[in-house]
Amino acid sequence: MTSRPGPMLALGALGIVFGDIGTSPLYSLQTVFSVDNHAIRPVPADVYGVISLVFWSILLIVSVKYVVFVMRAGNDGEGGILALTALIRRLAGGRTRLIALVMLLGMIGAALFFGDSLITPAISVLSAVEGIETVDPGVSSAILPIGATILIVLFLVQRFGTHRVGGLFGPIMLLWFLTLAALGIPQIVRDPGVLRALSPSYAVLFVAENPFIGFLALGSVVLVITGSEALYADMGHFGRSPIRRAWFAVVFPALTLNYLGQGALLLRDPAAVANPFYLLAPGWARIPLVVLATLATVIASQAVVSGAYSMARQAIRLEVLPPLTVRHTSRRESGQIYVPAVNWILMAGVLVLMVTFGSSTALSTAYGLAVTGTLLLTTALFLVLAHSAWHWPRRWLVLIGLVFGGTELAFFCANLTKIAHGGWLPLLLGALVVTIMLTWHRGRRLITARRAGTEGSLADFVERLHARPPARVPGTAVFPHPTKQTVPLALRANVEFNEVIHERVVIVSVIAENQPHVPRGERLDVDPLAHADDGIVHLSVRFGFHDDQDIPAALRDAFLLTPELEADPDTAFYFLSRITIERGHRADMPAWQQRLFIGLAHNAASPAGYFRLPVDRTVVMGTRIEL
């Protein structure tokens, strides 16, 4: 986390944290009043009921659940569903069943987040560009190509990083939220009676008198809280206080005024249901508003895409996704990363969604399940943490579960009615990602066990070398290896087949901790093994899941702290043990899962790039292992 002053952090949070929820007014109410067969109409009773549902949904889920409760669950200051999963796993001790359940819930939550990362850019940008229709309905055929072009450019520039333009995000989003408020206030002044919708009695009455219509409304009202998970997920970048200040001082008031303004407009002019957001503005202001809305939705999309990169890196560190190439686009900010595989998959998926659904209203049917599923899983994991680690009283857990979990369950069930109309999409995406995660997690454990049998005991190997030392060659050899217990295959091959060993050998084990960051002073543990004069040293390096796993940098730190190590990373050679996985005939994994795991392994990033090893001084030596 940076040391920028509080107001600057709050301004930065406006640009990164609130882009998704801040652009929801573009399409939320339009979607509510455009559901199938138009059961929800722009008549006073329905308008008051819907606006009341909107206000109290934002108040309960965002202001109370996330800002007051969930943001307490920081894992070394970091947030997000995988950080919450790692925190519970770290605090749960040896409770294997609980850890397995928590890992499964975390995987499902991460999978739904990836689905959300596909839908958000498509629906946000389309909803912004659709404002052109309020000026000239004849250009409707150009909306899809314009939206697709904007998103293609967005994905193409990801590899260059966003740090150069990131400073503009906060001011633009501040202007956006001020515009939201400015659009709503005149409508409220014209019809101040809409303020009655702030009473929860209208929401209760709306649902009680029309249970079926109220149920349908919930399926679309949930769109006003899309992006609420970002408040928690981006906590590590800005801290709790700046996010809370930005939410209560700017975002929440602006959203409330805009939704009230849209409600007042619908009460006075029911025909405005065609696009209640853009029709808030006078005709002369709509083109500038389209431009500002497009900028805001691009920023919202950028935040979601960057979040997908971070989520992928966390999943890699938790060993539920294979290693992927991760490139850092900023020398100062470790969070500025680019993951090519995730980028191209997202771009292809977003374009397919835009072409398939064609409009933001159609896409909204696929949106709710991903959002509500993530909300429910976060609540469930938070309750597990509060019970198992914080030991909160049972009555508090029951109350929190009923209020937040009950509300979110109602939203989730309402969105189940959309499965046939597009709601199947996030379920399908989630199932695919969870299958990949479970397959990689299980296959990796099997391969690790079988690899250990092939490698043999490191202690026995060192004793044999001491008893019958091979020929020595000058220099330092570094062997990245996951454990201190077994022999790196590359080291064994070098001794057995070449009958030589380097003067200095450093076996480096990278340990991925269940926390975002490990301070540099606490990362290293140097062990000279059994015989210090043999020149074989084991180095354990602990990284958090937000740290860069840079082995040469770790060696530099180790050399500074332990000069007798005599390992210069700038002249050392690095030897990688590369295994080729083949299909086996055992019953541990079905044949289809074996094929999937082998495919994932073949497309995983090279450890040389993953550990920042110099290409000109890295040697790969391999063997075959049956799955």
68: tokens are 């007051």
> With b meaning 16 or more CB within 10 Å and e meaning fewer, what string describes 40-73?
bebeeebbbbbbbbbbbbbebbbbebbbeebbeb
> In DSSP terms, which residues pair with 509 in a beta bridge?
540
Pairwise CA distance, residues 610 & 128, whole Å: 38
Percent of the chain with pLDDT over 90: 39
Q: What is the pTM of this model?
A: 0.82
What is the spatial distance between Cα 415 and Cα 205, in angstroms, rounded to a whole number? Answer: 21
* Residues contacting 620, CB < 8 A, separation 6+: 490, 575, 576, 578, 608
d(Cα 298, Cα 154) in Å, to the nearest integer?
8
Q: Give whole-number Cα distances, 391 to 72, 93, 167, 352, in Å.
A: 14, 14, 42, 46
Residue type, 117: S
Judged against a pLDDT cut of 90, whether residue 212 lies above it is answered with no
Strands ordered across the beta sheet of 618-626: 524-527, 536-543, 500-512, 471-480, 573-582, 618-626
The pLDDT, as a whole number, for residue 261 is 97
Among 268-277, 427-436, 508-517, the least confident range: 508-517
Give the residue with greater pLDDT, 115 vs 23.
Answer: 23
Q: Which are the contacts of 458, defined by CB distance < 8 A and separation ≥ 6? A: 484, 485, 486, 487, 507, 529, 538
How confident is residue 76, by pLDDT bands cut at 50, 70 and 90?
confident
Neighbours of 148 (CB within 10 A): 18
Whether the pLDDT of residue 4 is over 60: the answer is: no
What's phi and psi for 69, nearest 5 deg? -100, -60
Task: Tell me the two tokens of residue 347.
Answer: 């771009």
pLDDT in tens, 576-610: 888 888 887 776 788 899 999 999 988 888 788 87
Structure tokens at 175: 């202007």
Average pLDDT of span 421-443: 89
* Residues 547, 518: Cα–Cα separation, whole Å: 7
For residue 1, the model assigns a pLDDT of 42
Residue 479: predicted pLDDT:
93
Determine the Cα–Cα distance for residues 223 and 29; give it in Å rounded to an integer. Answer: 9
Mean pLDDT in residue range 3-7 = 55
3-state secondary structure 496-525: HHHCEEEEEEEEEEEEECCCCCCCHHHCEE
Structural domains of the chain ordered from first start = 6-422 (1.20.1740.10), 453-626 (no CATH)
Q: Return d(Cα 89, Cα 112) in angstroms, integer.
A: 20
Q: What is the mean pLDDT of the chain?
A: 86
pLDDT at 180 over 90: yes
Inform me whether the pLDDT recorded for 277 exceeds 90.
yes
Q: Is the pLDDT of residue 254 over 60?
A: yes
Minimal CA–CA distance to 607: which of 616, 620, 594? 620
Residue 545's pLDDT band (cuts 50, 70, 90):
low
> In angstroms, how far is CA 479 from the centroid of its own chain?
32
Burial class (CB in 10 A: 0-12, 13-18, 19+), 192: exposed
Rounded Cα distance between 407 and 328, Å, is 40
pLDDT band of 567, cuts 50, 70, 90:
low
Question: For residue 467, what pLDDT band results from cuts at 50, 70 and 90?
Answer: confident
Residue 489 sits at the vertex; the CA angle it makes with 485 and 494, to the nearest 5 degrees, is 120
